[in-house]
Structure formats: C-alpha cells, structure tokens
Amino acid sequence: MKSDPGSQARSGTLYIVATPIGNLEDLSPRASSTLASVAVIAAEDTRHSGRLLQHLGISKPMLALHDHNERDRASRLLDRLESGEDVALVSDAGTPLISDPGYVLVRQARERGIRVSPVPGPCALVTALSAAGLPTDRFLFAGFLPSKRGARRSELEALAAETATLVFYESPHRILETVAEIRDVMGGEREIVLGRELTKTFETFYAGPAGEVCQVIEADPNGARGEFVVMIHGVRRESDMDDTGAVDTDKLLQLLAAELPVKKVAKIAAELTGRSKNELYQRVLALKPE
C-alpha cells in the first residue's frame, strides 16, 4: 500500500543510519550530518553509540531501542515522528535491521505513512563478502546460527545442499564449535572463509577447506577473539564444472536413488566423487520429487 504523500509532508523522517563496524573513518559525511540534524537518536546501546557521538562532537538526546523493548519504544518514536520531528535509528555497528533491531519501528512507520530514508554505509555482511573470494552472484544470509548445538547442526544440515554462498554471523565463544560442525556436516573439504575483526587493527581472514581452517583457528591464540562473519562456498553446480568428463553428480544421485536407500546412495556417490556424504545426502533429498 502506498504511503499518503500528505501524511509524509506533515510528519518527520525516520533515517536508518549505518555506522562503522570498526574503523570510525568509515562513517560517511551524510551519516554524520544526519545524526547532527535529527531531534533524537534511537540506539541499540546508548552507551556504545554515545562514544561515537562524542567522537563526532555531536550532542543529541538518545533513546535505547533494542530487542527487548522495541515494541514499547516504537510507539513513542512514531508519535514524535508524526509530530514533525526527525529521528535517526542506529545499531551498535553496521546497518540497522541486518540481524539488529529496527524491524518493528520501520514496519510501523511505513504503515503510518511516515517517510523512511536509508543512509547507507558499512555492513559486515557485504564487507566480508567483498574480500572473501567466494561467489557473490547468489548468496544466502542466515543471520546468527542457533546457540544450541542440536538446533545449530540441524540448520547446517538443512543448508548443506544449497548452491548459493552461505553467510552467517558468529560470536567468538561459539566459533570453534561452529566451524567443527560445518566440517562434520558439510565435509572437511568444503571451502569456507572467516572474516574476523573487520576494518579493525587486527582484521584477519581465514580461508580454505573447513577441516584445515578448523585446525588453524584452534592453533591461533587469537583465533577465537572478536566478531566473525562465516562464509561457506555453496555446493558446486554441474554448470560450474569444466568439460573434463567430471561425473554429473545430480544424474548419478537420481539413478542410484531409483534403486537404493538414500544413505546408501550418499555413501556410493561420496566414494565416486570425493564429496561429503552429508552434502550428497541432502542433495538426494532435494532432488526427490514432491
């Protein structure tokens, strides 16, 4: 449904402002001027964003807006917007709403006909992908994996046959477990890239087969420090292979599945192709007719 232009003319604007993920010099001039011009700044953590404002020499009222209070605080901010005040929404780092709070506020602002304007800038997802050397024509961003091991493994299993590059955020205290589970579920040869402490002093990329990357970060005393972006090469499509007589894996799986149980199909195909049994198991399921 289109917003009422008259309503937008009477109300203020909700600015969605991207802030640095590490290096403060990445803040755009437009983002800085927007933060300086609004009536109030809605921040995921007012103490964290307060340090950014102090660095910029900006003094503005702030209101905490996070996962636990967004529905309550959104109504207060919407009232201020409807009264003609401009509001900026920021998260602790990067672009708001990308695995950060703000969905409820933005959704309700649009429903009320309030203008919502993005002020683009840093985003850990895009920053990591741009330097990873993985395919970016198709990627699937899945936010944070579940914190509980069983649920996390189930989600990885569900995505094992995905052909798009997979991207997750992960915390330092779970990164070793997560990489080990990627290795176990998708195979030790599956290519992964980890981006750690992006744009900061100790920015590091770990890249290679999952089994090797797991060993590297286990051996690195700093390997489990900082925030991570985890990227996984998708299952290679047959159209991506060169014309060297490589096995048509999908055709092989379909032929075997017509005669054998799925587990047996995955085992035989893994021996013939050198690919992970778990990956092939998920691919067989995906190829089965509904």
Per-residue burial over 84-100, b if 16 or more Cβ lie within 10 Å, else e, is: ebbbbbbbbbbbbbbbb
Tell whether 13 and 33 lie within a shared domain: yes
CATH number at residue 53: 3.40.1010.10
Query: Cα(187)–Cα(273) distance, rounded to whole angstroms?
Result: 13
Say if residues 65 and 42 touch (Cβ distance below 8 Å): yes
Q: What is the dihedral of CA 229, 235, 236, 239, to 10 degrees?
A: -120
- 97-to-89, 123, 159, 250, 257 alpha-carbon distances in Å: 10, 11, 23, 37, 42
The residue among 118, 116, 115 whose CA lies nearest residue 4 is 115
- Total tally of structural domains belonging to the chain: 3
Tell whether 186 and 264 lie within a shared domain: no
Tell whether 95 and 132 lie within a shared domain: no
Say if residues 284 and 262 touch (Cβ distance below 8 Å): yes
Tell whether 157 and 265 lie within a shared domain: no
Tell whether 137 and 223 lie within a shared domain: yes
pLDDT by residue for the chain (290 residues), tens only, comes to 455 555 455 799 999 999 999 999 999 999 999 999 999 999 999 999 999 999 999 999 999 999 899 999 999 999 999 999 999 999 999 999 999 999 999 999 999 999 999 999 999 999 999 999 999 999 999 999 999 999 999 999 999 989 999 999 999 999 999 999 999 999 898 999 999 999 999 999 999 999 999 999 988 877 778 899 999 999 876 555 544 445 578 888 888 888 788 888 888 888 777 778 888 888 888 887 75
**The two three-digit tokens of residue 35, written as one number:** 């933060």
Tell whether 15 and 79 lie within a shared domain: yes
Tell whether 144 and 117 lie within a shared domain: no
Can you say how many angstroms the Cα of residue 15 is from the centroid of all Cα atoms in its chain? 21
Range of the domain at 278: 238-287
Q: Examine the fold and report which residue of 79, 99, 122 is the final residue of a domain before the chain moves on.
A: 122
Q: Examine the fold and report which residue of 86, 103, 122 is the final residue of a domain before the chain moves on.
A: 122
DSSP letter at 112 equals T
Tell whether 228 and 136 lie within a shared domain: yes
